[in-house]
Chain A
Amino acid sequence: MRNRLSKTIQEIPPSGIRKYFDLASTMENVISLGVGEPDFVTPWSIREASISTMERGYTTYTSNSGLPELRYEIGKYLAESFQVHYDDKKEMIITVGASEAIDIALRAILDPGDEVLIIEPCYVSYEPTVKLAGGVPVSVTTDMSTKFKITADILREKITSKSKAIIFCYPNNPTGATMSKEDWLPIIDLIKEHDLLVLSDEIYGELSYDQHHFSAASLPGMKDRTILISGFSKAFAMTGWRIGYACGPEDIIQAMLKIHQYTMLCAPIMGQWAAVEALRNGQKAKDDMVASYRQRRNYVSKMFNQIGLECLVPEGAFYAFPSITATGLTSDQFAEQLIKEAQVAVVPGHVFGIGGEGHIRCSYATSMENLEKAIERMGKFVEQYK
């Protein structure tokens, strides 16, 4: 029989996380630090607002680019919070999560063979979505020595005449790294010099613990080459609602809209109304969640260092990314043995790119009680390798 699957899809390896999901699902008494979503449920006022719109019969399609009310609120919010200004009629599209926004942005800009620089370690979807869009992913590896920030030197090395775009995420999943205005300046120069398009995944922007999030799109000359991608999953604990958005130059957003209208039609209306409520009245709930993540961040980063796993203080998102090199294990060995011997689930760093090897990602979006227990178990586990 002919091969039923396309070459493209055959070349994409299965997810490295699957194995840990399967392991953790079959074991009892597992504490999971492997969850990439908030441990809060969506604040009640947001849930309640959505229920009430459903009761009133808002169960239809919306316009392809999303509810005008939601686009208006997002425009206002981005301008007030991050000093980036978008025309909510032409430069914005509501998507099914940031996930869809990443996908259609890449499909809108890539021709076969175009190279996309991916700043790693990073979220697992970038590389496959680049490949699915016909592009060629090029890893740009950051490490602990630069606190997982991009530097001009490492970036310059990977730029070629085929480089079309760069994709990054700050605050970062899995490292928790952030970029300040000063960090961006030399990078921005390079980006402009080589005429790169930018996909800036800012989904963790609100979860910045020391400094207010700085959007690269707000720097002079950047707005016209940047697709800002974000969503409601993380800041408002709304992962299941599937609402994200992309903002950027009109030509690119309109091209994305073309793909979106034929493949997705629109994002779910219930989620869109929930998102409207989140932006109108969800600030206090969000701030409370951020304060709680910050406390846990402080706690876990200190504790990892205490038990002998060197760990930077993550400046954003809800992950700690301690080094495990002191144990002599690979990240896969560490994660597998840890779950089998100590019943703690973490995600090995290598699944987030080659540069993630030597680290494990520990989500602290879980209760303090779980964190204390997990770290105690990990401390004992690490002890045997000293």
Chain B
Amino acid sequence: MKKEKVIEMLTLLEQNGRHSYDKLAMMLDLPEEEVKQTIAELEKDKVILRYPTLIDWDKIQGNDLVTAMIDVKVTPQRDVGFDEIAERIYRFPEVKSVYLMSGAYDLSVTIEGKTIKEVAFFVSQKLSTLDTVVSTATHFILKTYKHDGVVFNPRDDDRRMVVTP
């Protein structure tokens, strides 16, 4: 498959992981077999890692979660740089994401917990206590407006007239 087509296909899947092979094939104007095979390869190469579903948990009662974004300053280590400390952090299951950042701090860590207390406990007991962690600054998320390019409560209905020339 041509590189542009691979990118186009991945973009489609990123927006909707439930597209079937035959529909993708039609939209991309490619044989279905080729689409199937390429997806299998992309999965094997860990280019496609997972087909997650984006959920607005705020609309589900009784499953309240708190999410915090934590700026972490660390001391990089000889030879391994930031990789080892990043790994030490991302191995905790509470950790949803870890990014190495440019700018005022080094790692941006997202934590999810049932309560503020739970998150605070994790930061003070697990994260801050790691040898190479110099400081942390915790920010709780209050409301999600848009995530991964998706607006959570869109107000853009189809306002067109039903039949126009």
Contact = CB atoms under 8 A, between A and B. Distances in A.
Interface stretch (B33-41, B97-105, B155-163): B155-163
Interface string B133-151: 0000000000000000000
A25 B161 CA distance: 9
Interface string B83-116: 0000000000000000000000000000000000
A298 interface: yes
Interface size class of A (residues with CB under 8 A): 20 to 34
Contact of B26 (A20, A34, A173, A303): A303
Nearest to B158: A39
Nearest to A367: B158
B28 interface: yes
B163 A347 contact: yes
Given A21-B162, A24-B162, A36-B164, 8 more contacts: A15-B165, A25-B162, A34-B163, A123-B165, A173-B165, A295-B8, A295-B27, A368-B27
Question: Considering the complex of A and B, which 4 residue pairs feature the smallest CB-CB distances, nearest first?
Answer: A34-B163, A295-B27, A24-B162, A21-B163
Query: Counting chain B CB atoms within 10 Å of each CB, which of A15, A17, A299, A347 scores highest?
Result: A299
Nearest to B30: A298
**For chain B, what secondary structure do more than half of its interface residues adopt (helix, strand, loop), or is it mixed?**
loop
Majority secondary structure of chain A interface residues (helix, strand, loop or mixed): mixed
Contacts of B27: 295-296, 298-299, 368
B160 A37 contact: yes
B165 A298 contact: no
16 contacts: A15-B165, A21-B163, A24-B162, A24-B163, A30-B162, A35-B160, A35-B162, A36-B164, A39-B160, A124-B165, A298-B27, A298-B29, A299-B27, A345-B162, A345-B163, A347-B163
Interface of B: 8, 12, 23, 26-29, 156, 158, 160-165
A124 B12 CA distance: 35
A17 B164 contact: yes
Contact of A34 (B12, B29, B164): B164
Interface string A37-54: 101010000000000000
B163 A20 contact: yes
A30 B158 CA distance: 13
Contacts, number: 56
Nearest to A41: B156
B162 A32 contact: yes
A125 interface: yes
B8 A291 contact: yes
Nearest to A339: B163
Nearest to B29: A298
Nearest to B160: A35
A1 B135 CA distance: 91
Given A41-B156, A295-B28, A298-B27, A34 B162 contact: yes
Contacts of B23: 299, 368, 372
Contact of A35 (B26, B156, B163): B163
A299 B28 CA distance: 8
Contacts of A173: 165
Q: Which interface residue of A15, A36, A125 has the most chain B CB atoms within 10 A?
A: A36
A21 B23 CA distance: 30
A298 B28 contact: yes
A258 interface: no
Contacts of A36: 164-165
Interface in A270-316: 291, 295-296, 298-299, 302-303
B71 to A, nearest CB: 29
Interface string A7-33: 000000001010011001100001010
Contacts of B156: 41
A127 to B, nearest CB: 12
A30 B162 CA distance: 9
Contacts of B28: 295, 298
Nearest to A15: B165
Contacts of A345: 162-163
A298 B160 contact: no
